[in-house]
Structure 1
Amino acid sequence: MKAIGFKKSLPISNEESFIEFEIEKPSPKGYDLLIKVQANSINPVDFKIRQNAAKDTVLETPKIIGWDAVGVVEAVGEKTTKFKVGDSVFYAGDITRSGSNSEFQLVDERIVGKKPKSLSIAEASAMPLTSLTAYEALFDRLRIDPEKDKGKSVLILAGAGGVGSIAIQLAKKLANLTVIATASRENSTEWCKDLGADFVVNHHHLKEELKKIGHPQVNYILDFVDLEGYWETATEIIKPQGHILSITGSSVPLDLNLLKNKSVTFSWELMFTRAMFTTEDMERQHEILNHIADLLDKGTIRSTLTTTIKGFTVDNLKEAHQLQESGKSIGKTVILF
């Protein structure tokens, strides 16, 4: 089968930043589904791993990345119970396994959901990773209760990005929160408003803008862009007994003492945790994806697809990575196989 990967971490402009090659089609065992991939979408994790996974070495076997896909079940392992051959599915996969930049992929059925019936292949492919991240952030980490916490304020840093775009919708439509998103360009500001944000503030003047809209402090902060850069500001604008969550990490130790007097909670969210450690509740991702599919089919939320690139080729994958690396992409970019 055809696959695209890399042997060394190179700038995306380098001719060998991605290479096409042939490998044997895998066979499913246990809980695995063999998926014939129809489309996948690009996330920041893709280019970050491409840039860092083989910095000081040349891999013998090319590394296949890609986390987000729609496909059809081609074969199933002996322990599977949730899907059958021919089912259309969507999923974000497992960062410890071979990714979706290949014609076929093995994925554990416990982290796979039914493809939303009302969405095209491209529209559905844009959704799994960002939906899982945003949903887990709001309901598994912050533990939002839509009734008890109704009307509380959440600040979403990088509202127009892939995760921010679905977090705005889930925070507004499902969690019943007052949603404040950050954006600076006119098109990204309009995008956030269109998705349902109550307020959109310029992140270059965050504290001043929050005061202008009457929310100098907020109950929750979701960092989807740069925890290290926002840390001190976040500790100032979070309300006492509030909750800060990040998906981005930090290259330096963070001063948690800044949260002490306010009794503020801090959490990490990594969508891959359940699959990486085969947690007891790993199947929750199957349930979340099915819930997301239902919300999409009902029109409660909508796909965040903005760019579709047709053809599973090295050049197209490079184009998608260049767009992600620019930091100016809105919503999600999908490659249609």
Structure 2
Amino acid sequence: MSTTTAIGYRRALPVTDPDCLLTEDVPVPELRPHDLLVEVEAVSVNPVDVKLRAGAVPDGLRVLGFDAAGTVRAVGEAVTLFAVGDEVYYAGAINRPGTNQRLQAVDERLVGRKPTTLTMAQAAALPLTVITAWEALFDHLGLTSDSSGRLLIVGATGGVGIAMTQLAAALVPGVEVIATASGPERAELIRSLGAAHVVNHHGDLERQVRAIAPDGVDWLFTAYSEGQVALYGQIVAPFGRVVAIDDGSRDVAPLKSRAISWHWEFMFARSLHHACDMVAQHELLDAVAELVDAGRLHPVIEAELTPINVANLVRAHEAVETGHLAGKVVLHGW
């Protein structure tokens, strides 16, 4: 087979435009030494897909997709972590063609073994969000199994917040999670995943958090930091840490008097810059697979669509664009 089916875009268009996504035949990728050739069997859609499709002008056909589960069909000459026939899951790299194609090349150091207790569709709901949550918790906030204190998760019912709440409950039991959510159903969801307290981010957040943590929280994760830095300076304790995943520069001067540190999390940093510890993403995905198979973490899925085609990807992009999902949209089968 010399070509494979891919879905991408050639112009940055709104999701309502009939040409916002296109199906084309593309060459089967040539493998680099550490690459796997994966037969993609399931994918999910993330906010980064929507952002790129709507605003990033491509050079030719750009194939989106940053979550996948599938089966290894070929390996590069330097591959040591996987073999043909292995079932895997991963989020890939932002500077290579994405997962919305039947056959994809991906560096083995970014890939984990698929949890055995999950279907391909369920596994495809996890990689990007669990990598982001893991790196935020452990690489940036510096939490360990011995940590104790309070963690505030702003935007807890988003994909990353859902993963972070479960990881904190499973791996840092001494940390008390305060989660933000709106509405009783979302509050109940995030409590069921391990949050000790739920506050409404549409209300007076400082008053609500201070009622639970009078001295402030030790760590804060935020998916929505724009215009909130001064507020965070009031609810994070001295010498606390904040980690953000949204875009844009921030004036962090309001944090200085409390010696609060600010961190950015970007899960593509290791692959984009060929970090010397790139294999850390493989290791964390394998660790997550163990947690899943032990029943300590699970995907939260809003909708499951089949097959993987333009119509269903458009539906998924439309759903993600609303910003109101409490769980992932996954697609499987071709």
Name the TM-score class by shorter chain. Answer: over 0.9
Q: Which residue of 2 aligns with 1:303?
A: 299
1:47-86 maps to which residues of 2 (within 5 A)?
Answer: 47-54=50-57, 59=58, 61-86=60-85
Distance 1:181 1:231 in 2: 18
**Structure 2 counterpart of 1:5, from 4, 8, 20:** 8
Distance 2:166 2:85 in 1: 31
Distance 1:61 1:331 in 2: 32
Q: Which residue of 1 aligns with 2:36?
A: 33
Distance 1:180 1:308 in 2: 29
CA spacing shift, 1:307–1:215, aligned 2, 3 Å: farther
Task: Tell me by how many angstroms 1:304 deviates.
Answer: 2.1
Q: Which amino acid aligns with 1:160?
A: T
Q: Which residue of 2 aligns with 1:328?
A: 324
Q: Which amino acid aligns with 1:50?
A: R
Task: Tell me by how many angstroms 1:24 deviates.
Answer: 1.6
Q: Which 4+ runs in 1 deviate beyond 4 A?
A: none
1:174-185 maps to which residues of 2 (within 5 A)?
Answer: 174-176=171-173, 177-185=175-183
TM-score by length of 2: 0.95
Task: Tell me by how many angstroms 1:265 deviates.
Answer: 1.0
Uncovered stretches (5+) of structure 1, i.e. residues with no partner: none
1:1-337 maps to which residues of 2 (within 5 A)?
Answer: 1-54=4-57, 59=58, 61-147=60-146, 149-150=147-148, 152-176=149-173, 177-205=175-203, 206-215=205-214, 217-224=216-223, 226-250=224-248, 253-337=249-333
TM-score by length of 1: 0.95
CA contact (8 A) 1:210 1:216 kept: no
CA contact (8 A) 2:210 2:235 kept: no
Distance 1:312 1:256 in 2: 42
1:8-64 Cα deviation digits (max 9, x unpaired)? 11110110011111112123230000000000111111101111111xxxx562110
Q: Which moved more, 1:307-316 or 1:91-100?
A: 307-316
Task: Tell me by how many angstroms 1:184 deviates.
Answer: 0.8
Task: Tell me by how many angstroms 1:244 deviates.
Answer: 0.4
CA contact (8 A) 2:156 2:190 kept: yes
Q: Secondary structure at 2:299's aligned position in 1? A: coil
Q: Secondary structure at 1:221's aligned position in 2? A: strand
Q: Secondary structure at 1:154's aligned position in 2? A: strand
Q: Which amino acid aligns with 1:67?
A: F
Q: Secondary structure at 1:229's aligned position in 2? A: coil
CA contact (8 A) 1:76 1:85 kept: yes
1:264-317 Cα deviation digits (max 9, x unpaired)? 111111100000011100011110000000000001111222311111111100
1:60-108 Cα deviation digits (max 9, x unpaired)? 6211010010010010000101101000000000000000011111000
CA contact (8 A) 2:111 2:281 kept: yes
1:99-138 Cα deviation digits (max 9, x unpaired)? 0011111000011000000111111110111111101111
CA contact (8 A) 2:229 2:255 kept: no
Alignment coverage as a number of residue pairs: 328
Distance 1:235 1:213 in 2: 17
Task: Tell me by how many angstroms 1:190 deviates.
Answer: 1.6
